[in-house]
Amino acid sequence: MVVDAIIKPAPRTAPSRRLWVDANRRELSSADQQGVAPAEWKPSQLFLGLFLWELQLGDKVKQKTITRAREKAGEKQAVVWGFRSAVGQAREMSSMMFHRIMATALLVSLGYLPKAIGSSHERQLLVDLLKYYNTIERPTENHNQPVVVEVDIDLQKIIKMDPNVGEMTSNVWLRMSWKDVNLDWEPHQYDNLSTIRLPSSEIWHPDIHFYNGVSEQIASTLAVVTSRGKVDLLSPATVTTRCSAAGNAGRWFPFDEYDCSLVVGSWALDGGTVNLRWPDGATGSSSEVRVGDDSGDWQILDTSKARTETRFACCSKPYTSMFISVRLRRRALRHLCSLHLPLLWVLGLASSTFLVPTDRTDLRLISGILFVASACWWPSGPDLPNNIISLGHLFVGLIVLGVSICFVSHCLQLVLLTPPSSGRRQSVLAEYLNRLLTTPLALKLACISDNRPEHDK
């Protein structure tokens, strides 16, 4: 029954009160027939139902009292019996009012409780586990024994690689697993509930950080806790770590390679307090490092992982850390197609203009324009190494290439275009170059067949 309106007070006269009760009863029955009654009771419904029941009961008690008074004492003593009946009715009404208030309070509380007791076992389990739980206390039965934490790192994606600064920004998944003796329970006591999820900030967890990280962002997630006390925590992280160039990487652009590493360990807990190890005690190999997305600008050539112990001057016990090494190579196809191939085409076209006669000034002008345009294709950008061949080296190389081509072209002109009536010195130079450039080795290198007559050889 749905009653949202304010309940109006009942009339004082008996017929009017009876009509008021019947009207409200019809209204409530029509609401039931229309199917608008919800599954849960509301306080207004309960109050109205109890109030109608009280009015009906009060009318019946009053009518019975008056009838009994008339039968026993007649009309003269009806007033006395009516007074006594009124006193008795008042007592009965006060008792009914008390019971009505108690019943209303009980039913109102029951009307609101079904929404909150849907997972009473889980709520009770959380109360029992976290009531006296201390997030600073190490979860071990013997304080002299370390907490064994299994750590694993999944490399998901190389977001950015800056070869100039030597930093790699990557997205990783940090997996940790350990046993918490303070978070175990019997499942049969909690309706066979064997697994719950708790915020990592509400329970103890190791203070794991990246030792070689320039910046890190480790997300706070929910930890999966079993009835045996095993805690599994998977946290995605975005971390920027340091890298080093493998050899003279910039000189071999875009085929340069870099060595990057991810070093994970506890910041304040030494090996005697927290013992880090790989899952199942594995020592680590290149095939055990999982890589999610390897489709970016950098190709992962090799991965390896190891466990190391480092002693510091401040502490007597060593600190355990997990080391992952990653070798990256730049994907060269994009740079070759967008930078190097157009540059080589422009250089070849510009160099071929030296083979044309010197009186063609239009071709010389085109050659100069192409040389200047070739500088615009030279690779530049923040993702390229600083020790790449600079623009100055390019122009020096172009000048040397141009001088060499000019020398070769003029030599060919002396050999091929010098008339026989020229001076003695020029004829000797032309004859010498003719012999040098027409040797069998030179003709084979130039892929030219020797079809000259025997007297000209």
For residue range 185-237, list pLDDT tens digits in order.
999 999 899 999 999 999 999 999 999 888 889 999 999 999 999 999 999 99
Q: Which of 115, 148, 171 is the last residue of a domain?
A: 115
Residues 436, 441, 443: CA angle, nearest 5 degrees: 80
Contact between 391 and 375 (Cβ < 8 Å): yes
Say if residues 47 and 67 touch (Cβ distance below 8 Å). Answer: no
Residue 291 belongs to some domain of the structure:
yes
* 58-67 pLDDT per residue, tens: 666 556 666 6
What average pLDDT does this structure show over 85-97?
60
Of 50, 82, 115, which residue constitutes the final position of a domain? Answer: 115
Q: Does the residue 1 lie in any domain? A: no
**Token pair of 239, please?**
């971390």
3-state secondary structure the chain: CCCCCCCCCCCCCHHHHHHHHHHHHHHHHHHHHCCCCCCCCCHHHHHHHHHHHHHHHHHHHHHHHHHHHHHHHCCCCHHHHHHHHHHHHHHHHHHHHHHHHHHHHHHHHHHHHHHCCCCHHHHHHHHHHHCCCCCCCCCCCCCCCCEEEEEEEEEEEEEEEECCCCEEEEEEEEEEEEECCCCCCCHHHHCCCCEEEEEHHHCCCCCEEECCEEEEEECCCEEEEECCCEEEEEEEEEEEEEEEECCCHHHHCCCCEEEEEEEEEECCCCCCCEEEECHHHCCCCHHHCCECCCCCCEEEEEEEEEEEEECCCCCCCCEEEEEEEEEEEECCHHHHHHHHHHHHHHHHHHHHHHHCCCCCHHHHHHHHHHHHHHHHCCCCCCCCCCCCCCHHHHHHHHHHHHHHHHHHHHHHHHHHHCCCCCCHHHHHHHHHHHHHHCCHHHHHHCCCCCCCCHHHC
Name the domain boundary from 331, 349, 379.
331
- For residue 447, what are the domain limits? 334-456
State whether 411 and 304 are in the same domain: no
The verdict on residue 9 lying in a domain is: no
Q: Which residue has the higher pLDDT, 406 or 88?
A: 406
Amino acid at 341: L
Whether 313 and 344 share a structural domain:
no
Whole-number pLDDT of residue 440? 72
Q: Is the dihedral of CA 362, 364, 365, 370 positive or negative?
A: positive
Are 367 and 441 in a shared domain? yes
Residue 134: CB atoms within 10 Å = 11
Are 248 and 350 part of one and the same domain? no
Q: Give the pLDDT confidence score for residue 236 in this predicted structure.
A: 93
Average pLDDT of the residues in 448-457:
57
My answer on whether 323 and 217 are in the same domain is yes
Q: Do 212 and 137 sit in the same domain of this protein?
A: yes
Q: Where do we find the tokens 């004829």?
A: 427
Asked if 205 and 181 count as a contact pair (C-beta separation under 8 A), the reply is no
Residue 243 pLDDT greater than 70, yes or no: yes
Q: Is the residue at 4 inside a domain?
A: no
Question: How many residues does the structure list for the chain?
Answer: 457
Do 368 and 316 fall into the same domain? no
Examine the pLDDT at 423 and tell me if it is beyond 80.
no
* d(C-alpha 427, C-alpha 423), whole Å: 6
**Angstrom distance (rounded) from CA 339 to CA 281:** 48
Q: Give a yes or no: residue 97 inside a domain.
A: yes
Give 322-378 pLDDT, tens digit per residue: 988 888 888 877 777 766 677 777 777 766 666 666 677 776 677 777 767 666 655
Domain check: are 303 and 341 in the same one? no
- Residue identified by tokens 């160039």 is 245
Q: 127: buried, middle or exposed (CB in 10 Å: 19+, 13-18, 0-12)?
A: exposed
Is the Cβ–Cβ distance between 395 and 402 less than 8 Å? no
Range of weakest confidence among 106-120, 163-177, 326-340: 106-120
pLDDT at 249: 54
Structure tokens at 197: 């999820």
Residue 405: is it exposed, middle or buried by C-beta count within 10 angstroms (0-12/13-18/19+)?
A: middle
Q: Is the pLDDT of residue 250 over 80?
A: no
pLDDT class for 151, splitting at 50, 70, 90? Answer: very high
Q: Do 287 and 415 belong together in one domain?
A: no
Measuring CA to CA, how many Å separate 363 from each of 94, 282, 353, 355? 119, 69, 6, 10
Diameter over CA atoms, the chain: 173
Distance of alpha carbon 329 from alpha carbon 24, whole angstroms: 83
Q: How confident is the model at residue 4 (pLDDT cuts 50, 70, 90)?
A: very low
| pLDDT reported for residue 448 | 59
Whether residue 205 sits in one domain with residue 322: yes
Total domains in the fold of the chain: 3
310 lies in the same domain as 367? no
- Same domain membership, residue 136 and residue 94: no
